[in-house]
Amino acid sequence: MDFRQLRNFIHVVELNSITAAADRLSIAQPALSRQVKALEDELNVSLLRRHGRGVMPTEEGIWLARRAKAILEDIEEMAGDVSGNRAPLSGMVTVGLPPTVSEVLATHLIERTMATYPKVKLRVISGFSGHVQDWLLRGKIDLGIAYEGQKSASIRTQPIIIEQLFLIQSADIESARDGVPIPAREALEQPLILPSPEHGLRGRIEAIAQGQEIDLNVVLEIDILPTMLAFVERGLGSTILPLVSVINHVREGRLIARPIVRRSIDRTLVLMTPLNRPGSRLSSSFADFLIAEVHAMVTSGQWPGTTL
């Protein structure tokens, strides 16, 4: 095997298609197929599974692509270190964020990326935690931020922060005006405005309620955060959210955030990276950068109600 074969094989794995990889590399598809077959013959293993829509790497194929990418990047970095011309990070990186995280992190992250890595193009898309995980598995995004939930053997998760959840109520509710802490049972028994069941936040709240044998009284299901807060502000129900999601409403005196006690309700935010395709220097370095930025926001008070 040679470096050219390995580089071309990495493209096949990243695109899950020999045809698409051949187009990207500007080489003939039969020639690329012969290169893959030569690798399989030399290693005496199957590296790809063929199907009607393209190819999928086998476990051996994933391992080879990951190791090959690491080796090739090490060679490039070594050449740059020796010559003193190590290339700065460049390229496109796509990050998936849940809506409540996107509200606080997206603008900050884009601005910091532009200032720190001017040659990196950052694309941010927002969706529920389950959607972010699915996008990562399908290769639509490079990195995902989500709330800890369903595990996948194809995804590595790294805890970043723990968010405390608060009972959010209208400032017009007299019993809420002082913002005094509220026991978890009493908070969960309020008429609640919550996102739909597919939302990770809803699942977390339901799990805690079931553990305390409480039947939630969900008066409205709304997945659009500004709309949800508008109904809470009108006093049509309460909700349970991290403080950062409502911090401006609280500061303006429109909503009250009450700490939940005697059984705090929290959730863990994790960074998700794929194990079913090779990583890159860009995605690995950007993951470290992203975590550092989140931690900086927490320690500076820009992300209130959280712990590292």
Q: What are the chain's domains? A: 3-83 (1.10.10.10), 91-154+271-307 (3.40.190.10), 162-267 (3.40.190.290)
Is pLDDT of 87 > 80? no
Q: pLDDT band at residue 295, thresholds of 50, 70 and 90? A: very high
What's the mean pLDDT when you consider all of the chain?
88
Name which of 8-22, 104-118, 141-155, 187-201 the model is least confident about: 141-155
The confidence score (pLDDT) of residue 255 equals: 94
Task: Record the tokens describing residue 274, joined without a space.
Answer: 């794929």
- Per-residue pLDDT of 238-294, as tens digits, reads 999 988 888 889 989 999 999 999 888 888 999 999 887 767 778 888 999 999 999
Q: What is the pLDDT of residue 80?
A: 62
225: Cβ contacts below 8 Å, ≥ 6 apart: 99, 100, 103, 245
Contact 184, 192 (CB under 8 A): no
Secondary structure letter of residue 184 according to DSSP: H
Question: Residue 143 has what pLDDT?
Answer: 94
Q: How far apart are the first and last CA of the chain?
A: 45
The highest-confidence range among 9-18, 60-69, 145-154, 228-237, by mean pLDDT, is: 228-237
Over range 210-216, report the average pLDDT.
92
Gap between the Cα atoms of 203 and 303, Å rounded: 23
The DSSP symbol for 88 reads P
pTM of the model: 0.68
Burial category of 214 from C-beta neighbours within 10 Å (exposed 0-12, middle 13-18, buried 19 and up)? middle
- Name the token pair of 53: 């829509």
Apex 166 CA angle, 296 and 223, nearest 5: 90
Residue 85 reports pLDDT greater than 60: no
Query: What's 21's DSSP letter?
Result: H
Spatial contact of 296 and 157, defined as CB atoms under 8 Å apart: no
